[in-house]
Amino acid sequence: MSQFTLCAFADEAGADIQDQIKALNENDIPCLEVRGVGDKNISQLTIPEANELKKQLNDNEVQIWSIGSPLGKIGIKDDFAPHLDLFKHILELAYTTQAKCIRLFSFYIPSGEDAVIYRDEVMERLSQFCQAAKGSNIALCHENEKGIYGSIATRCLEIHKHVPELYAVFDPANFVQCSQDTLQAWELLAPYVKYMHIKDAKPDGAVVPAGRGDGNIPQILEKYKLQGGNVLTLEPHLSVFSGLGALENGEKSVVNEYAYPSQRAAFDAAVSALKSIL
């Protein structure tokens, strides 16, 4: 499976961009899906700050694959106009950093309400994103996520059929956490997948290293490879337990087996698990 290009949400290794660069370089990961930079979300960066970020990454031979934006992570009833303005700013950040993609979501549905009620509004808002990005050559990629309209595969499929300009980011763990069988989801969404997030989970929702949960990641990677898929973004989301080292003392600790003593240790474990599968 050497055809894959690896990326990562390196803010899970450390907030400071130099710590992120170090984690990427030391794990032989050439690309970044940028989300957090210091104490800011990527969407909060100014254009001069984005230029400086690009310079630091270039100096260390790291490329930005995607902007891991928070777009679409507002309620479907929230005012959309300011969010569309935010989209336009993030699009400019993508130009500045030479990102190939922008990751986004399909809006939170009010708790206890039927998502179908909001279908037309979801499609209208996503269409406005695509219209604003028309001609940019930056791919807009919808990620399946808990609580949003596109939380399950059938509604994700509706999105891609109704808004064909929108690609998919396939996240196995998020589907597991929504009680969605990932192999069934893949069969529905495979034609739309631009890239994958590598994150795995157990049925109880606990995030675990790739291949240790119910995400069917090895099987899906084979399918992704056969259709020419290339890019994988690691999104570890593994537990960090600061007291782990003090507890162990040569014995098995009493905490979750997938808890780690630091962000960097958790990040490295996630990389190791994926590379073992590859």
User: Which of 49-63, 68-82, 170-184, 256-270 bottoms out in mean pLDDT, i.e. has the lowest?
Assistant: 256-270
- Comparing 68-77, 117-126, 193-202, 244-253, the range with the smallest average pLDDT is 244-253
Kindly report which listed range (70-84, 240-254, 258-272) carries the lowest average pLDDT score: 240-254
- Cα-to-chain-centroid distance, residue 221: 16
3 state DSSP class of 82: helix
Quick: pLDDT tens for 13-35. 999 999 999 999 999 999 999 99
CATH class of 5-277: alpha beta
Q: How confident is the model at residue 38 (pLDDT cuts 50, 70, 90)?
A: very high
pTM above 0.75, yes or no: yes
Position with higher pLDDT, 258 vs 10: 10
Greatest CA separation for the chain: 58
Q: Cα(231)–Cα(72) distance, rounded to whole angstroms?
A: 23
Instruction: Compute the mean pLDDT over every residue in the chain, rounded to the nearest whole number.
Output: 94
Q: What is the pLDDT of residue 243?
A: 54
Instruction: Give the mean model confidence (pLDDT) for residues 138-147.
Output: 98
pLDDT of 41 over the 70 cut: yes
Q: Are the C-beta atoms of residues 113 and 69 closer than 8 Å to each other?
A: no
At residue 242, the pLDDT reads: 58
d(CA 276, CA 173): 18
Q: What pLDDT, on the 0 to 100 scale, is given for residue 257?
A: 78
Question: What distances in angstroms separate CA 72 from CA 23, 120, 188, one per listed residue?
Answer: 29, 15, 22
How high is the pLDDT of residue 3? 86
**Three-state DSSP state, 104:** strand
What is the tens place of the pLDDT at every residue in 94-135?
999 999 999 999 999 999 999 999 999 999 999 999 999 999
pLDDT digits (tens, 9 = 90+) for 61-101: 999 999 999 999 999 999 999 999 999 999 999 999 999 99
* Percent above pLDDT 70 for the chain: 94
Report CA-CA distances (Å) from 201 to 136, 225, 232.
35, 22, 17
Residue 251 has pLDDT above 80, yes or no: no
What are the boundaries of each domain within the chain?
Answer: 5-277
